[in-house]
Structure 1
């Protein structure tokens, strides 16, 4: 069926029936459901009576800027990284990203000739569709954000290689595993290419936000490539700022964040972090270490999450195929992990779909949110977040979403 064959009058009638349901449903953000949060309730009674880390640190006291070895060792093993290059912080890796870009802007990095604020302009590579909060950070500092398309193996490498010939290009955002919102995972070849490429700026940095490093929807866990090793072997040891956290593994906003990077980068980080504060919440780090026990314990928790999330993702994909398949009105990702499904609707209609859904009581992430400055040049991408609602609400929301996609497409075709 072609878009021109859609019956506009029938779709308008269907949409009026949808509005009459007076829905109040939310698919805006990838929040864990209450069921998922319950998986980690044992944390609330931890740590037990022993407040000592394995290095005999009393976790109730000040200090320990890099975090306790108990959780650092565990997370390093989970990500396939050396423990000495991994530090543990407080709840949010997004805070660490903001801090490091702030310090580079104010003071310069350990490889900078001057603070980034002294540069005529700072340019930043933004693979799209991407994570809206990443773009908000670089927008906040006034960086010029340059988009490159994502393919099935990662960002368009030819485009990236051309851009980094400019010494004003200082960095790049990446979500390398089960990316937000597409769910793609970078191939080893892409990871190596990003580690090895020549850049005009000696202080070029890639923020490697591995937020979904362990977030499988299947029985298989993804490979997390050791980009720190790839970069060191290529003579670019300081290239990656590698982030991770437990935010969607235990309790959101109450977990542990991680930074993995080169020894020189860590020294630079600590020189500023030691002024900002005395140390992270080691009690929470110890509680997490006790809760997980070991890497197998982390994976066991992640399998519980997969058991909760996979049926929701499967149902969304079933409804998309049933309602929209074969009609030339939308394409969508089919992720095996992460928290999102990326949908591309008819060019020029994404904002209309979101508007129609809102009027029908279905809240969606704003059109364009997966692009810098919320400007999707084709006005087609919409990010779906299936995790929070129960399945029965999700089914209603997705059926309504499909109606909005069809109506917006028919309106454009017959305008």
Structure 2
């Protein structure tokens, strides 16, 4: 039975049943958390040996430089070559920094805002306004950066093969549109991956702003949930082929591969963009943590070492993600009250519930002792116009807690849907409609 096809008597009977289940859920006095995509302790333990690396007496690079000293603003050659091999990109177009790629993203936008980038006629702060393209659902921390600078964030749908290119092409006709966020592989929160065709369209499209930039945040490039790794596109090389070599600022990091607070972040972009970046970064600091970079070289060994570590992560994460989708299917499948993604990598699952009920689901879950990411978080300014999207993050809790929490969340989704359908039915109208992708 579709919930939307139920008559009033059936709705009332279903509400009684689900309300009873919810009462039992609250009586369990749970304290569970599915809010952030953090690695679990078991995952962090995979990088435990890093704490002893590179080891006493191991501090000299192949070129004779000492990692304990100042300098080396591009990062050590060894880690740049290793990571370039992982991603299939030229090492000469890679800079290795400290642990957070978000810091690099913030710097790139902050410096463009303050000084203008190498293709800018003026600083972005001197423009009448700056507009920024935000595929949704998307990554909340991305949106927080452009929100901080007061940019107008314009949403476009994030489809299974990438952002809606018809909408993007129309928007970039405006010279005040200066940039775009995108997580190209196993995107946050849907798990969708940008296709080679859409990537080439992004690289080739005409833009009114000569200093338009795409922040290509390849945070989950190797974060498979299976034994298979995704194709990684050399987006900077692709853009150069299409005559727009400076278009992409590509990011990646080891933050969810080794130690989340002590990894290595990478910037891959054109030589011209790198020269602009170096000029300002050289004033900001005197070099990254090269000791930590050497430790990562010793830990991984080579690109195959990275993939070996990621298979171990998949062995921990995969069962948790499968548990989420299996519970949703068992509890909600066929009722027409929710749709969810089934990612093959990344850290999140995106769920669309009945329009107008996402906040209610979060409220019901909170009252039952289950913390969920706030409804609307995957939209700029946390404003989901349909109040339908939820982001689930099953990575941090132990497997058994994920299963208990998701069974409870499914109860909350069903109760919120029944309440909405009953409210609409009371007006004599058609029952509440389920969300659509």
**Aligned positions of 1:26-45 closer than 5 A:** 26-45=33-52
**Aligned positions of 1:110-259 closer than 5 A:** 110-259=118-267
SS, match of residue 258 in structure 1: strand
- How far apart are 1:3 and its partner, in Å? 2.1
2:354 alignment partner in structure 1: 346
Name which of structure 1's ranges 225-234 and 403-412 shifts more when overlaid on structure 2: 225-234
2:413 alignment partner in structure 1: 405
Name which of structure 1's ranges 91-100 and 5-14 shifts more when overlaid on structure 2: 5-14
- How far apart are 1:234 and its partner, in Å? 1.1
The equivalent position to 1:304 in structure 2, one of 300, 306, 312, is 312
- How far apart are 1:63 and its partner, in Å? 0.4
- How far apart are 1:256 and its partner, in Å? 0.3
Q: Provide the TM-score with structure 2 as the length reference.
A: 0.94
SS, match of residue 344 in structure 1: strand
Q: Equivalents in 2 of 1:314, 1:234: separation in Å?
A: 40
Q: Equivalents in 1 of 2:19, 2:227: separation in Å?
A: 42
Q: Provide the TM-score with structure 1 as the length reference.
A: 0.99
SS, match of residue 81 in structure 2: helix
Q: Equivalents in 2 of 1:96, 1:52: separation in Å?
A: 27
User: For the pair shown, which has the larger CA radius of gyration, 1 or 2?
Assistant: 2
Q: Equivalents in 2 of 1:377, 1:370: separation in Å?
A: 11
- How far apart are 1:8 and its partner, in Å? 1.2
**Aligned positions of 1:283-298 closer than 5 A:** 283-298=291-306
For structure 2, the 5+ residue unaligned runs are: 424-437
SS, match of residue 232 in structure 1: helix
The equivalent position to 1:329 in structure 2, one of 321, 334, 337, is 337
- How far apart are 1:55 and its partner, in Å? 2.1
Are 2:30 and 1:2 equivalent residues in the alignment?
no
| CA offset digits 1:345-395 (Å, max 9, x no partner) | 001100000000001000000000000000001110000001111111111
SS, match of residue 74 in structure 1: helix
2:426 alignment partner in structure 1: none
For structure 1, the 5+ residue unaligned runs are: none
1:54 alignment partner in structure 2: 62
| CA offset digits 1:155-202 (Å, max 9, x no partner) | 000000000000000000000000000001110001100000000000
SS, match of residue 215 in structure 2: strand
Q: Equivalents in 2 of 1:34, 1:152: separation in Å?
A: 31
| CA offset digits 1:79-120 (Å, max 9, x no partner) | 111000001000000000001100000000000000000000
| CA offset digits 1:102-151 (Å, max 9, x no partner) | 00000000000000000000000000000000000000000000000011
Q: Equivalents in 2 of 1:297, 1:53: separation in Å?
A: 20
- How far apart are 1:38 and its partner, in Å? 0.3
- How far apart are 1:240 and its partner, in Å? 0.2
Are 2:28 and 1:21 equivalent residues in the alignment?
yes
**How many residues were matched structurally?**
415
1:104 alignment partner in structure 2: 112
SS, match of residue 39 in structure 1: helix
The equivalent position to 1:270 in structure 2, one of 269, 274, 278, is 278
Q: Equivalents in 1 of 2:132, 2:61: separation in Å?
A: 40
- How far apart are 1:2 and its partner, in Å? 2.2
CA RMSD of aligned residues (A): 0.7
